[in-house]
């Protein structure tokens, strides 16, 4: 699934959170959206997912107008920074949730739901935690469950909003590596939001740098590292040398 965003503008009052954003994401790509806090990354993700609406501009999926569709029709998986797991449900039921609330016409039978959840828990290597509750899991485990839940509906697009931001450095590093290999396996068009330059350069095959509601640079991790167009990335390189 390709994603194309054209001249997207989103205002909150007179403030433009997105100030004319153009972006194309290729089928199967894992793209990192990098930028300082407040640069418009989450706003862009929410509009692509159908959780918010732009003032003007276009969003299309494989050439079809996505803005004409509601969030559910867009078939997008979303992973939030703070897991957003249901506390009163077991891990199994959390992952099954998206399948149980699908419209009746496409909803799977119970046996098929159970088989799919098992497959997903195997994929994130946490099958052994199926009967636990979120409060009994570590942060890294919770985020892997959140990812399994987002993948349950076989999304055409996967959006990850600072998915590892709440975790400590060691777990974050492990999960980055794991996400890269998982992405290789499932091959879903994905956008990964982060304000951590190292994370963006490590995880993605292409990096988009945003600042103040605009895209400042698009390039391979090497391009962005070697010839940064913004002070934000400069700051990182200065620190890391
Ligand atoms: P980022 O994800 O890069 O940190 P956001 O997209 O969350 O940035 O926010 C971009 C800007 O828009 C910020 O200045 C933020 O305060 C503002 N903003 C985001 N959502 C709202 C909202 N619902 N109401 C008012 N301002 C908002």
Q: Is the CB of 14 under 6 A from ligand 1?
A: no
What's residue 84's pLDDT?
A: 80
Please tell me the CATH superfamily of domain 3-75+155-240, with its number.
P-loop containing nucleotide triphosphate hydrolases (3.40.50.300)
ipTM: 0.97
φ, ψ at 17 (rounded to 5°): -70, -35
The protein residue with its alpha carbon nearest to ligand 1, atom 26, reads 12
**Per-residue pLDDT in tens (0 to 9) along the chain, 241 residues:** 999 999 999 999 999 999 999 999 999 999 999 999 999 999 999 999 999 999 999 999 999 999 999 988 898 999 888 768 999 999 999 999 988 987 787 788 899 999 999 999 998 899 999 999 999 999 889 988 999 999 998 898 999 999 888 788 888 888 888 888 888 888 899 999 998 888 888 889 899 999 999 999 999 888 887 877 776 776 554 444 3
Of 113, 145, 123, 120, the closest CA to residue 132 belongs to 145
Question: So where are the chain's domains?
Answer: 3-75+155-240, 86-154
Task: Tell me how far the alpha carbon of residue 38 lies from the centroid of ligand 1, in angstroms.
Answer: 6
| Protein residue with its CA nearest to atom 7 in ligand 1 | 42
pLDDT at residue 179 in the model: 87
**How close is the Cα of 237 to the center of ligand 1, in Å?**
26
* Crossing angle (nearest 10°) for helices 169-186 and 110-123: 120
Question: Distance, CA 23 to ligand 1 centroid (Å)?
Answer: 19
The rounded Cα 91 to chain-centroid distance in angstroms is 20
Dist CA 65 CA 103 (whole Å): 22
What would the pLDDT profile of 56-98 be if each residue is shown by its tens digit?
A: 999 999 999 999 999 888 989 998 887 689 999 999 999 999 8
pLDDT at residue 49, rounded to an integer: 95
CA of 43 to the centre of ligand 1 (A): 6
Can you give the pTM of this predicted structure? 0.90
Alpha helices in the chain (DSSP H): 41-49, 71-74, 91-100, 110-123, 139-151, 169-186, 197-203, 221-226, 231-240
Whether ligand 1 lies within 6 angstroms of the CB of 37 is answered as yes
Mutation test residue for ligand 1: of 38, 41, 230, the one with most atoms within 8 Å of CB = 38
């Amino acid at each position: 699934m390709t994603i194309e965003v054209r001249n997207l503008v989103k205002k909150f009052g007179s403030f433009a959170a997105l100030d004319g954003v153009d972006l194309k994401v290729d089928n199967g790509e894992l793209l990192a959206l990098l930028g300082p806090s407040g640069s418009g990354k989450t706003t862009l993700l929410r509009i692509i997912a159908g959780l918010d609406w732009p003032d003007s501009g276009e969003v299309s999926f494989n050439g079809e107008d996505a803005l004409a569709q509601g969030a559910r029709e867009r078939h997008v998986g979303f992973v939030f920074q703070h897991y957003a797991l249901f506390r009163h449900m077991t891990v199994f039921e959390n992952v099954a949730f998206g399948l149980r609330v699908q419209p009746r016409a496409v909803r799977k039978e119970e046996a098929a739901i159970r088989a799919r959840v098992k497959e997903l828990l195997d994929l994130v290597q946490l099958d052994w935690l199926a009967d636990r509750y979120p409060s009994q899991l570590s942060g890294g485990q919770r985020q892997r469950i959140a990812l399994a839940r987002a993948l349950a509906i076989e999304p055409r697009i996967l959006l990850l909003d600072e998915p590892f931001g709440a975790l400590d450095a060691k777990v974050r590093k492990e999960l980055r590596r794991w996400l890269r290999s998982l992405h290789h396996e499932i091959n879903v068009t994905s956008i990964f939001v982060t304000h951590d330059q190292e994370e963006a350069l490590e995880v993605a095959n292409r990096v988009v740098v945003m600042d103040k509601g605009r895209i400042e640079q698009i390039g391979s991790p090497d391009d962005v590292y070697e010839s940064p167009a913004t002070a934000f990335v400069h700051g990182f390189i200065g620190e890391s040398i």
